[in-house]
Each structure stands twice: as structure tokens, then as C-alpha cells.
């Protein structure tokens, strides 16, 4: 959701909640119809769900972050098509996550009080871990790290050595994707956001820094064109954008005082 607050306008990011509810609901319906099976099958299903979550999360983000969905698109049919594609690729990770949890809950119903307790503990730790990852490595790098953790979680669930080896290999592969994160998961502002327009219209734009935090992503950029386009000749040196839209102008402190005038 934090990533989509950058790539989409904020009111579209809440579709993630509907995707999560739909995915978990679909997983519950699947288990209600098919059942959890015996103990061995339930463990295998839960482990495969962790692997499925890993693969579909990487694929889903790699695809949807390249879809130019925007609230202000003139073509409503194309917009609906893009939204459908978002749902199509974002639904499977939540389905697999819900499937793994539901199968274990159903299979070990006599221990459901313990499972539910540790599920809540894990959910709380997961939120804290995401905040730590967000502020240290950023939202884009967090995708690969979270997928590596999901793949590794299948190791204690699987009983066969070959299956555990696949889980470990999958986790290692996610870590190997880290150097290609910027290429694989391009988190760019929506085209109609102010920073999105600046990126399209400024050929020599230089990104000085990108910082992530729970409140938003801060981009600091500069270019010769930014100084030339400043209103009234105000010595603007850098632009800071929050989630690609809320701008703050950083002025050149070495400029003469007389130049600090805003055009009327």
C-alpha cells in the first residue's frame, strides 16, 4: 500500500484492502470445498502456498508497477482494463497466504488457540519488520526481502529434504534479485502527479536522494531546467516531493538576497 501511494493516487491504493479480503476469502472458500486433507497433505499445501506466495508476489509487482494506471486517464475503458489487470496479478499472493494459514487452522483445529495466538504474534512482528525494512532499505527492496522470508518459512513446514531444499533455493534466489531491484520493481510516480510530470519533461533530471518512511516517500531532485523554470527568477536549487506530488522548494542559499522574490 505504501508503494502504491507513490505509483498511484492515494484513493486508488485502498484497492489493496479489497484485494486482500478477496484473496483470503477465496482461500477460505477453497478449503471449505476441497478440505484440508490428512496431516501430510496439509503440511505440503501450506509449504507450497508459501512458495506460491513468493513467486506470485515477485511476478505481480514486476507486472503492475509497469502498468500506467492513473486516476485522471481520459479513456475510462482502458482505466478499467488496467484496474482489472491489477486485481488479476495482486490477488494470487493473498490467495496463497490465506490458503497456507487456513489449511493449518483446519488441520490442527484442536490447537487452534495456540495457532491463532502465534498467528497474531507473527502478524504484529511482521508489521514491525516491514516498518524497519521500509525505513532502512525502502519499499522496493522490501519486496525481495519479504519474499525471501516467505520462502524460508516453508522450510520447517515441509518434511521431505527435497522440498526443504527447494524452499532454501527459492529464498536464496530472492536475495540474489536485490541488485536488480530498481530494474525489476520500478516505483515511479503516477504520470499526472507533479513529480511524474517533471520526470517526463525534464531530460537532465538528477535524483539526489530517495527516502522511505511510514508517512511517505521523499524524492529530492535537481536539474538545470528546474532553476530556469523557477517563478520570478527565485533561485530554486532542488525540489523535494512527498509521494510524488506534495512539493517543497529548496533555495540556493548562496544567491543574493535580492533574488528571493516570488512572481506575482
Note the pLDDT tens digit of each residue in 110-167: 888 888 898 899 889 988 998 899 999 988 899 999 999 999 999 999 988 899 999 9
Is residue 230 domain-shared with residue 179, that is, in the same domain? no
Is residue 68 domain-shared with residue 100, that is, in the same domain? yes
What confidence category does residue 21 fall into, taking pLDDT thresholds of 50, 70 and 90?
very high
Is residue 139 domain-shared with residue 250, that is, in the same domain? no
Is residue 174 domain-shared with residue 202, that is, in the same domain? no
User: Would you list the DSSP string of 83-119?
Assistant: HHHHHHHHHHHHHHHHHHHHHHHHHTGGGHHHHHHHH
Surface-to-core class of residue 220, CB atoms within 10 Å of its CB (0-12 exposed, 13-18 middle, 19+ buried): middle
Give the mean pLDDT of the chain. 85
264 within a domain of the structure (yes/no): no
Domain span at residue 241 reads 194-259
Is residue 177 domain-shared with residue 198, that is, in the same domain? no
130 within a domain of the structure (yes/no): yes
Residues 209-257 pLDDT 10s: 888 988 888 888 888 776 665 555 566 678 888 888 888 877 766 555 5
Q: Which of 156, 184, 212 is the last residue of a domain?
A: 184
pLDDT at 28: 92
Is residue 85 domain-shared with residue 146, that is, in the same domain? yes
189 within a domain of the structure (yes/no): no
Q: How far apart are CA 255 and CA 156, in angstroms?
A: 62
Is residue 209 domain-shared with residue 163, that is, in the same domain? no
Is residue 180 domain-shared with residue 198, that is, in the same domain? no
Number of domains in the chain: 2
**Residue 215 CB partners (closer than 8 Å, separation 6+):** 242
Is residue 154 domain-shared with residue 209, that is, in the same domain? no
Is residue 62 domain-shared with residue 151, that is, in the same domain? yes
- Report DSSP state, residue 216: E
Q: How far apart are CA 36 and CA 107, in angstroms?
A: 6
73 within a domain of the structure (yes/no): yes
Q: List residues bridging with 38 in a β-sheet.
A: none
Q: Which of 151, 184, 217 is the last residue of a domain?
A: 184
Q: How far apart are CA 27 and CA 103, in angstroms?
A: 9
Task: Using a pLDDT cut of 90, give the percent of the chain over it.
Answer: 38
Q: Which of 129, 156, 184 is the last residue of a domain?
A: 184
**C-beta separation of 96 from 147 below 8 A:** no
Amino acid at each position: 500500500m505504501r508503494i502504491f501511494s507513490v505509483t498511484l493516487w492515494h484513493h486508488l491504493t485502498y484497492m489493496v484492502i479489497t484485494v486482500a479480503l478477496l484473496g483470503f476469502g477465496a482461500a477460505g472458500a477453497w478449503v471449505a470445498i476441497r478440505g484440508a486433507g490428512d496431516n501430510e497433505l496439509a503440511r505440503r499445501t501450506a509449504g507450497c502456498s508459501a512458495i506460491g506466495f513468493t513467486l506470485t508476489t515477485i511476478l505481480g509487482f514486476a507486472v503492475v508497477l509497469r502498468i500506467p494506471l492513473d486516476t485522471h486517464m481520459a479513456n475510462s475503458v482502458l482505466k478499467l482494463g488496467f484496474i482489472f489487470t491489477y486485481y488479476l496479478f495482486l490477488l494470487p499472493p493473498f490467495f496463497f497466504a490465506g490458503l497456507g494459514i487456513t489449511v493449518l487452522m483446519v488441520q490442527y483445529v484442536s490447537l487452534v488457540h495456540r495457532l491463532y495466538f502465534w498467528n497474531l504474534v507473527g502478524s504484529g512482528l511482521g508489521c514491525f519488520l516491514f516498518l524497519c525494512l521500509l525505513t532502512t532499505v525502502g519499499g522496493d527492496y522490501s519486496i525481495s526481502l519479504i519474499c525471501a522470508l516467505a520462502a524460508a518459512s516453508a522450510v520447517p513446514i515441509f518434511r521431505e529434504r527435497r522440498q526443504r531444499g527447494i524452499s532454501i533455493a527459492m529464498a536464496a534466489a530472492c536475495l540474489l534479485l536485490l541488485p536488480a531491484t530498481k530494474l525489476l520493481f520500478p516505483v515511479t510516480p503516477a504520470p499526472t502527479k507533479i513529480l511524474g510530470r517533471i520526470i517526463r519533461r525534464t531530460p537532465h533530471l538528477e535524483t539526489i536522494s530517495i527516502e522511505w518512511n511510514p508517512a511517505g516517500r521523499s524524492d529530492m531532485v535537481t536539474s538545470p531546467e528546474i532553476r530556469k523554470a523557477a517563478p520570478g527568477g527565485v533561485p530554486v536549487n532542488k525540489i523535494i516531493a512527498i509521494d510524488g506530488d506534495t512539493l517543497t522548494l529548496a533555495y540556493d542559499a548562496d544567491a543574493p538576497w535580492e533574488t528571493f522574490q516570488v512572481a506575482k
